[in-house]
DNA sequence: AGTTCCATCAAGGTTATACCTGAGCCCTTT
DNA sequence: AAAGGGCTCAGGTATAACCTTGATGGAACT
């Protein structure tokens, strides 16, 4: 069966990531498999939607940090338009902050770029078969949360932030002011101010200076650690 | 000449990155070239040093954000032990923040993972030939800083700040707002505003957000070393 | 000694941002 | 149907940022 070359019905995978090197790496990994193939690539949100419509993939591998809008936003949009489509989120960021909100937004799995190619292949196959993939560590943690009745003590109050709030928080940490953030996200300045206020409440911060300070620290710890 | 297969002396490249997918991507890119080859891979600082000793690469491609210690720390250590070795820093982060730091620490180039494979190949070849690679945008910016500054190259425009300005800059970087700074230094708020304006001029910054961003960055780099 | 330069300090006035209250809409949960 | 949370935005006031202007005193050139 396996030896039958391309006659086996291969699962079609669309790659969405703005790092050409990484796309090349995962594309090679996938195309080496008899049962998988890359049907297309995209490096931003618009191209991703177009590519889904034209290539009809069985699975989308989606980077959580795209240029322009965040991967989570794209994930939500795609899920609205193509509810049946399976999506595996790929990220270099800490799973404790991003994985659960990715799953809540409709992803079928979350895996970090730091994982071995074996594990990534395993995640791909699991998601294609309709299952949900998360790391063992995160899976255990989520079980504990369920059994524990309510929500576990969040390891960081940053997990309390909503998706939009986290997006704003991240942009603040990258050094952007309120106005540029509003423009980038196509929102009213008033809305961004509102998000900032909520972030300050949730993180128990008292001033704009403190907010910027913590945001920059967090962005830095995310990128270096 | 080119047609002589592997008889041409290929340049040996060591990859240091903790993302297997990305290593696979860049390895494939390099090994497709007749004049380049991957001589080894490493995913943390220790293995990187060992690999340099055993494989004697002509060039090291080094991710700036490694697990454990940061890539910049590793860069400094490697430069102490192997001063002749060329190093191209690879990063997914904004070059305006990290590139100059990397070059000062001894790197021969800095390129972002978002760049096309063509540009990455170009950077690899440029660094192997003993030249320095930075993006066109960053190169122009650095030139402007040199020309716009004084005759000599200030290693950092921060050295242009007066004592008082540096004091204010440092307090901004510690997360204090204008009012608290004025109180702490027994000055009028207006005076602190004036200092802030002069700092912004000297560092070529355009907004308060940028100022705070750079100030925090600087304070952090000072405390880390 | 005079001129120039600039660091330091500061005011007035304009614009932008921060902060507070409130509110409509949508979705999910109950 | 009701309740809660998330997302969006507005009005109004307080505060901070920003621009211009300018006084003072020290350093440096010439």
CATH value at residue A39:
3.40.50.2300
**pTM tops 0.85, yes or no:** no
b (16+ CB within 10 A) / e for A20-33: bbbbbbbbbbbeee
Confirm whether any atom of chain C, the nucleic acid strand, is less than 7 Å from CB of A178.
yes
Beta-carbon contacts of A148 under 8 Å, excluding residues fewer than 6 positions away, are none
pLDDT for B225 equals 44
Q: Is B182 domain-assigned?
A: yes
**B68 and B11 together in one domain:** yes
Considering the domain architecture, whether residues B217 and B123 belong to the same structural domain is answered as no
Q: Is residue A150 part of a domain?
A: no
* Same-domain pairing of B16 and B92: yes
Predicted confidence pLDDT, tens digits, chain A (225 residues): 445 544 568 899 999 998 999 999 999 999 999 999 999 999 988 898 899 999 999 999 999 887 766 778 888 888 888 888 899 999 887 777 788 888 888 888 999 988 999 999 999 999 999 888 988 888 887 776 666 544 445 567 788 899 999 999 999 988 899 999 999 999 999 999 999 999 999 999 988 988 998 998 888 777 655
Which of residues 69 to 108 on A have a Cβ less than 7 angstroms from any strand D atom? Answer: none
Nearest to A48 by CA among A90, A21, A15, A23: A15
The two three-digit tokens of residue B194, written as one number: 């004036």
| pLDDT for B193 | 93
The H helix count followed by the E strand count for chain A is: 10, 5
B211 touches strand D (CB under 7 A): yes
**Within-domain flag for B174:** yes
Nucleotide nearest to A189 (CA to C1'): D9
Which portions of chain B are predicted below pLDDT 70? 1-8, 68-70, 94-97, 141, 143-157, 221-225
User: Residue B76 contacts by C-beta under 8 Å, 6 or more apart in sequence?
Assistant: B105, B106
Looking at B77, B105, B137, the residue that finishes a domain is B137
Both B123 and B14 in one domain: the answer is yes
Nearest nucleotide to A166 (CA to C1') is D6
Do A96 and A30 lie in one domain? The reply is yes
| Structural domain containing residue B91 | 5-137
Residue B132 domain flag = yes
The answer to whether residue B32 is domain-embedded is yes
Nucleotides of strand C within 7 Å of the protein's CB atoms: 6-12, 16-23
Find out whether B222 and B215 touch, Cβ atoms under 8 Å. Answer: no
The integer distance in angstroms from the CA atom of B136 to the C1' atom of D26 is 43
% helix / strand / coil in chain B, to the nearest 5? Answer: 55, 15, 30
**Nearest CB to A19; choose among B92, B209, B220:** B92
CB A218 within 8 A of CB A169: yes
* Domain assignment of residue B23, yes or no: yes
B window 174-193: Cβ near strand C (< 7 A): 185, 187-188, 190-191, 193
B202 touches chain A (CB under 8 A): no
CB contact under 8 Å between B175 and A21, yes or no, is no
Cα–Cα distance for residue pair B132/A138, rounded to 1 Å: 43
Whether residues B154 and B187 fall in one domain: yes
Domain count, chain A: 2
Same domain, B30 and B128: yes
Q: Please give the Cα distance from B165 to B147 (Å, whole number).
A: 22
Secondary structure E strands in chain B = 11-16, 36-42, 59-63, 86-91, 109-112
Query: Strand D nucleotides below 7 A of a protein CB?
Result: 5-11, 15-22
- Candidates B182, A184, B186; CA nearest to B196 is B182
Q: Are residues B163 and B122 both part of a single domain?
A: no
Same domain? A125 vs A161: no
Residue B30 lies in a domain: yes
Nearest-CA distance from B69 to chain A in Å?
8
Identify the closest residue of chain B to A92 by CA–CA distance.
Answer: B19
Pair A175, A97 in one domain: no
A147 domain-assigned:
no
**Does residue A24 contact residue B25 with C-beta atoms inside 8 Å?**
yes
Residues B32 and B130 in one domain: yes
Q: How many Cβ atoms from other residues are within 10 Å of residue B9's Cβ? A: 8
Task: Return the CATH number at A207.
Answer: 1.10.10.10
pLDDT of residue A28: 92
What is the structure's pLDDT at A2?
47
Same domain, A121 and A175: no
What integer pLDDT is reported at residue B162 of this predicted model? 82
């Amino acid at each position: 069966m396996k030896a039958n070359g391309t006659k086996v019905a291969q699962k079609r995978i669309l790659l969405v990531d703005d790092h050409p090197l990484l796309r090349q790496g995962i594309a090679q990994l996938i195309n080496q498999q008899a049962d998988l193939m890359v049907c297309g690539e995209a490096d931003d949100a618009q191209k991703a939607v177009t590519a889904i419509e034209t290539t009809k993939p069985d699975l989308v591998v989606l980077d959580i940090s795209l240029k322009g809008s965040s991967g989570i936003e794209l994930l939500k949009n795609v899920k609205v338009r193509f509810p049946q489509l399976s999506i595996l989120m790929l990220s270099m960021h800490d799973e404790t902050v991003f994985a659960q909100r990715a799953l809540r937004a409709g992803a079928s799995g979350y895996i970090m770029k730091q994982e071995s190619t074996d594990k990534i292949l395993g995640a791909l196959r699991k998601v294609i078969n309709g299952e949900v993939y998360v790391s063992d560590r995160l899976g255990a943690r989520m079980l504990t949360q369920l059994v524990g009745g309510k929500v576990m003590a969040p390891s960081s109050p940053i997990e309390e932030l909503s998706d939009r709030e986290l997006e704003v928080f991240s942009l603040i940490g990258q050094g952007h002011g309120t106005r540029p953030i509003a423009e980038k996200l196509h929102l009213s300045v008033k809305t961004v101010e509102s998000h900032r206020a909520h972030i300050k409440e949730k993180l128990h911060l008292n001033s704009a200076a403190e907010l910027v300070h913590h945001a920059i620290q967090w962005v830095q710890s995310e990128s270096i650690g």
